[in-house]
DNA sequence: CAGTGGTCTAGACCACGGG
DNA sequence: CCGTGGTCTAGACCACTGG
């Protein structure tokens, strides 16, 4: 029934999610794990891994001794903040048509904060790419990305900076992206941002993300600042109890 | 070596985390999974589950074919936003002494937003508990929690509302807490909040959490609004690539 | 090539829920 | 009590890394 790649768990997960979306489990009850395992010809562990992921996403919930159930409300959570999603996708999932404008690419010298975070000498040079994201032609997200020049191993075109940073890192820096450590900061929009995002006077309070991107070895490789118009893009997060 | 409860995975995880914190792996290299399994007398799967959790927390990273390595930087991420942490703990982890002031407990009638979110009739009554959290005696977090009165099954004392909501729900409402769906909203502090949090004029931009708490059946049971002084408490988040 | 982590299996036993 | 999900095991094979 399934191929060997992508992993069985991913295939089982996708399959189950489809069945949930198509409301094939009318009473909201998902068959027992053993039954699913037999049905799909995989082991119960594989089923369990897939179900665990769906549970984390909030699509189902499980009760020991009782069963596994669909959580239709969980399907409504589009933008999970704990996952890295291209801003275009985020905008699309909010129901808008996304556009990306590359509004500036410069070379700068590290300031003390960049140098400290990225573990660079103070005289290090970086590329800074400024991008404006629009939802149905309205500006909603502004981002600045800082990439140390010494990381760039391949010649690139300015247009290559239009893609998400992690793609750029993998293509031109031989760096596999690992994770962001992100700080969420509220800011009063400065004048230049009011102009970029065309903010009306009553909407000049913004969420800002200060993100330090790390490669798969846990080394900081890139910094990014993003600013969101929260009236159009809502940041949502599923929070669970520790342990 | 280990007892049966808590789970072996949790014990192995705690054990490994201790060894990492004590810098017992000087070269940053964690022994092979098979070796750890033999050493601790558990199966490799158990070791792997523990390591996976540590990897999610950013404490270690793994490279297929190469090995498992310590990520000392990951130990610095104190406040992981994707986990529910009592605000007292959050304050303590930022290096302050936490205090909780229960500043108000009232009974109100649902407004349209509360009613819609909590799936209540418009005339429903709710308890609203207002709490102020202090870090070293300085106010840093203000929270409002709304609990539908009909949920409360046991008599309670006002002081019981000082604890985190999920404790209250489990003790007095026979509701086991599941998860929050949280929206992050930037706000300009209104006058009453400026007074509560004693905000200087230049710090009146705040992060607000609008949280809808669900029980283990995925039903909304409680709403909470929280406001953070971000100069003292920084919200941090580990974000990873989807899939 | 040897050694590592990544995936999957089959089976066992436990803890909990509901009839 | 039975049937469910929760935990754990031992072992197999694969994919990748590094010398």
Q: What is the pLDDT of residue B197?
A: 87
From A89-93, B88-92, B228-232, the region with the lowest mean pLDDT: B228-232
Q: How confident is the model at residue B47 (pLDDT cuts 50, 70, 90)?
A: very high
Closest CA to A203 of A216, A215, A213, A193: A193
What are the strands of the beta sheet with B60-63, ordered from one edge? B29-30, B67-70, B60-63
* Average pLDDT of chain B to the nearest whole number: 90
User: Which chain B residues touch A73 with a CB distance below 8 Å?
Assistant: 214, 218, 220
**A3–chain B Cβ distance below 8 A for any pair:** no
Q: Are strands B83-84 and A235-241 parallel, antiparallel or unpaired?
A: parallel
Q: Indicate the pTM of the whole model.
A: 0.82
**B234–chain A Cβ distance below 8 A for any pair:** yes
Four-CA torsion B119, B122, B124, B128, nearest 10 degrees: 80
The answer to whether residue B242 scores a pLDDT higher than 80 is no
Residues of chain A with pLDDT under 70: 1, 4, 242-243
**A92–chain B Cβ distance below 8 A for any pair:** no
Q: What is the DSSP letter of A211?
A: E
Which of B141, B218, B226 should one mutate to test binding to chain A, selecting the residue with the greatest count of A CBs within 10 A? B218
**B66–chain A Cβ distance below 8 A for any pair:** no
Q: Residue A209 belongs to what H/E stretch?
A: strand A205-215
User: Which chain A residues touch B186 with a CB distance below 8 Å?
Assistant: 186-187, 205-207, 230
Q: What is the DSSP letter of A159?
A: G
User: Which chain B residues touch A232 with a CB distance below 8 Å?
Assistant: none
Which tokens hold the place of B34? 């098979």
What is the distance in angstroms between the Cα of A137 and the nearest Cα belonging to chain B?
A: 23
| Inter-residue contact A30 to A12 (CB < 8 Å) | no
Closest CA to A230 of A210, A209, A203: A203
User: Which chain A residue lies closest to B242 (C-alpha atoms)?
Assistant: A83
- What's the rounded Cα separation, in Å, for the pair A36 and B137? 55
Report the residue from B10, B85, B218 with minimal CB separation from A73: B218
Query: How large is the average pLDDT for residues B129-158?
Result: 93
């Amino acid at each position: 029934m399934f191929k060997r790649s992508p992993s069985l768990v991913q295939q089982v997960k996708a399959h189950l999610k489809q069945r949930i979306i198509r409301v094939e489990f009318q009473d909201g009850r998902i068959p027992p794990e053993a039954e699913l395992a037999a049905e799909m010809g995989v082991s119960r562990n594989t089923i369990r891994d897939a179900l665990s992921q769906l549970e984390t996403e909030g699509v189902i919930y499980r009760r020991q001794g009782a069963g596994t159930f669909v959580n239709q409300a969980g399907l409504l959570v589009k933008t999970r903040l704990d996952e890295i999603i291209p801003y275009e996708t985020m905008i699309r999932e909010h129901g808008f048509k996304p556009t990306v404008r590359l509004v500036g690419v410069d070379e700068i010298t590290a300031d003390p904060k960049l140098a400290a975070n990225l573990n660079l000498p103070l005289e290090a040079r970086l590329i800074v790419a400024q991008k404006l994201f629009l939802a149905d032609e309205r500006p909603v997200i502004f981002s600045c990305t800082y990439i140390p020049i010494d990381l760039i191993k391949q010649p690139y075109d300015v247009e290559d900076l239009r893609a998400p940073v992690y793609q750029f890192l993998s293509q031109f820096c031989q760096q596999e992206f690992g994770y962001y450590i992100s700080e969420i900061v509220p800011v009063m929009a400065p004048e230049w941002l009011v102009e970029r995002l065309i903010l009306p006077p009553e909407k000049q309070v913004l969420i800002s993300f200060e993100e330090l991107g790390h490669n798969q070895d846990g080394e900081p490789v890139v910094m990014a600042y993003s600013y969101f118009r929260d009236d159009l893009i809502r940041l949502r997060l599923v929070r669970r109890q520790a342990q």
